[in-house]
Every structure is written in C-alpha cells, then in structure tokens.
Amino acid sequence: MSTLSVLNPMGYPPKVTAKPMAPRLDTLAGKTVSLVDCRFDDSDVFLRQMQAWFEDNMPSVKTRFVQIRNVYTKDDPETWAEVKEHSDAAIIGVGH
C-alpha cells in the first residue's frame, strides 16, 4: 500500500484594507478629468480612445492624459498629487 500526500493550493491571501470610492460629481460639464495611464498593457491606447470620445461627445469636459512616472506596481505620490491639484476627477486606466 502506498501513501499519497495532498497539498492545499489555496495559499494565504494578503490582508486587503478597503477604501471608499470618491464621491461622484453632479456633472462633468466644465470639469477637468485626468485620464491616468498606469502603464499596464495597452492602457494608454484605451485612454487615448476615451480622450477622443470625450472630445467628440462631451466637448465641455477637458481631459488630461497623464502617465505615472514608474511601473504600475509602484506607488507614485507625485503623480497623484498632480492629478489632485489639476483635476476635478480621474479615470485610472489599468489595461485590457
């Protein structure tokens, strides 16, 4: 008779601390929206398409295309401060 060992592949997920979403604006008309590219696969392509959509469909909304200064796995406090200072809202592009 042979012995069979079975391992649990589930592992131990890291603790995640939830953060609330930012409050919604009543309108985007006359506002500035930063489109933030986190440098994840093709998020820049998607955000440029979104920027063109805003120009065609909501011309009263100003958009800013912003790329983080590092890779998406690293925090970028300078970019987030810039977005907060120059924008009324932000859309964070994560690709795919």
User: Cα–Cα distance between 72 and 47 in angstroms, integer?
Assistant: 15
Which 3 state secondary structure label does DSSP give 53? Answer: helix
Tell me: the pLDDT tens digits for 5-49?
Answer: 888 888 888 888 998 988 899 999 999 999 999 988 888 999 999
Quick check: 95 pLDDT over 90? no
pTM: 0.77
The rounded distance, in Å, linking the Cα atoms of 36 and 67 is: 6
What percent of the chain has pLDDT above 70?
98
